[in-house]
Structure 1
Amino acid sequence: MTDIDSITLESVRQAAQALQGVTVVTPLQESVYINDLLGARVFFKLENLQRTGSFKLRGAYNRLRQLTPEELKRGVIAASAGNHAQGVALAAGLVGTTSRIYMPEGASLTKIEATRNYGAEICLFGETFDDAYQEALRVSEATGRIMVPAFNDPMIIAGQGTVALEMLDERPNLDVLVVPVGGGGLIGGIAMAAKAQNCRVKVIGVQTESVPAMAQSRKAGRLVPASNGRTIADGIAVKTPGDLTYALVERYVDDIVTVSEQEISRAILIFLERSKLVVEGAGAVGLAAMLAGKIPLGMGTVGVVVSGGNIDVTLLNRIIEKGLVEEGRQVHLKTTVGDRPGQLAKVLRRVAELHANVIRVEHERWSPTLSPAEVAIQMVLETRNREHVQEIVENLRIDGYNVSIQS
């Protein structure tokens, strides 16, 4: 029996039984707003509400629960951008062993601190997940700690496949499953478990355009490493998928699409504003793909896996501000006026008449581009939409202000 054949519906069901009382059955939730926006019925599997903030605890615990007493004494080691790290750290504590986690140097501070709080020893190494993985592998061989792969392991994959069992148990009529793809453990387990129950269900993976390793590998017909692109979807920024997960994708996954960073940002913002959900970049790619029209919505009822919610708050703040600017709900304007009393008040009064809310104002005299008789005024305004921004700019120009929109 090959490794891929060892991952069966029965192994996933055994994992589900073992996970009772360890993980929670996360909600499968729909949004009227998003349904109307897409013109389809969509249910979101909210693994961002799972313990540790992502699905990763499922696979990690399923792997660690099968360690022998001797292996428990040696401890475990893993590499992760953050979510697998937290899953392994918590699972290690639950089964009574120690954990050491290697994370990329640029890993989210939120994920680093959360992993440490679960009891793991943290080691930062390299720029990417793959760098951290190679170092963890080297240390595992040198110390005897048990390596816990992030995705390329039958027991990890079976644990992740329990997501599909819960989705189809609650909504057996789901026609399409949309799943984030990094190393492929999540989609591999879900696709196998879903197809074993209903061979007609379609499984579509979503990756970021910045690190599309599985999509490129599928197109090439062999494992192809991706370049080290920068992405806000760090949870799926895997340079090289596993041979086992790649084989599962080849056998069970119907298609893989990619999304841009801007599309991911928009999806994060919609989740936050419309569904009151904090979702990380990797967890938002499914919605991003649908909003961008990259997944056909005429195939029936859709289930989308929201894989995690562990997003750094500083990144979330940047995404919110950038998203507001792109939607025309915030604008940064600059103009130059005479350096005389009352000029700033006059500009701000006119902005108020145009029904914009002033968030921030800077009054600058010292720029070398200004004459001694001039002052620059920079304003960040809260606006309704792009049309409102245009209305404000046009009216200020009619009033004689040389206004420009700042990027």
Structure 2
Amino acid sequence: MSTSPNDSTAGLLAARASGIRVVTADGRGIPVAHEPRHPNDREPWAEYEGCTGTIVSRHSGDACTTVLSPRWMQWSASRSVNVRLTRAGVHCVYEGLADGTRARTTFIDGSELTWTGVGIHADAQGDEFTIHHPISEHRILRVQWSNESGDVTEQRTHRFASGSYADDSAALVACVIAYADCHGRTPHTEEQPQIDPQGDPVSATLLKARSQEKGAVRIVTNDDRAVPVAYEPRTSDDPTPWAEYDPADGTIADRHQSLACATLDVERGTVSEPWTVARSIYTRLTDADIEWACGRDPAGTYDKVVFVDGSELTWNGVTVHGDDVSVLHTIGEHRSLSLDFSGRDGREVNHQFATGSYAADSSALVAWVTAYADHYGRAPRPQL
């Protein structure tokens, strides 16, 4: 593209070619993109809104300057695209090198999609793909979808290189959403690792008793209710590390100090039904019009859901007592949840939820079951 007349754009472009960033000269230091609308455009430098990827202002070369290392992540391609995809219910994870070369999402039917970009410095710096470069240094965006079916791999690639980041990013977002609508969105889980009870001797004692007795001792609130509680500290020095759950919706209703908790001797295998993992999850699946308990085994180790097309899904959990698999243990004894899908086409998928937070794990499991039900069809209530 030619430069605008009577301004310093030519010098800015020369500096940019050497790796220096061009930004607004008004003290804000916002990266700008050289996107002239015509050969004689006197405001060829476009200032973008970071989240929406739209142009909010235009500048002449005299209104811009150069900097070596501005704060630019707010205007990165990764943030601009992923904010819009997240709002549309499409969740991507970054992959590749430490600075990010691509973002990937897996759909319900097992197909995958990656998106990436190429910046203006690809030739000079040898970088091929990147998603964390500034909007202002955009050259190309690309989407690749692939699906493996037996020995056949189907792939499609879409390339967006109009010269306008606004147009290219809008086209990429629309393309990814179209694939998600066709192949099924997958839910997202944020990891929240559990923290050891350092500096909290009372909690350490409670946890030791629960571990040694392996189901014969339950940690409950030290009041007349004796509600089972889960050890889920938010920080290493959380003053209220014990979570009391609302069994109906799987959310934390209250938090307690270790001194407000106690051990309760119970017969091994005995559960407090209102606070079982099964009841907590069943309630939410029922609210989503999904019929559960189509195939629970007598020992209560798993539950099954059958969809309209004949595909099946089973879920279960692992307790804090070793490798005990169950759906009938209390929320307070939750370690992880597992989901297994088996399709009529022979496809099998396993999902694990073990963030250390029952709220996060159960919400993720319910979201996944609901997503599968949306994609494969809710079966009617079985006739008993």
TM-score range, shorter chain: under 0.3
Which structure shows the bigger proportion of residues in strand conformation?
2
Q: Which has the larger radius of gyration?
A: 2
TM-score, length of structure 2 as denominator length: 0.27
Choose between structure 1 and 2 for higher RCO, CA contacts under 8 A separated by at least 6 residues.
Answer: 1
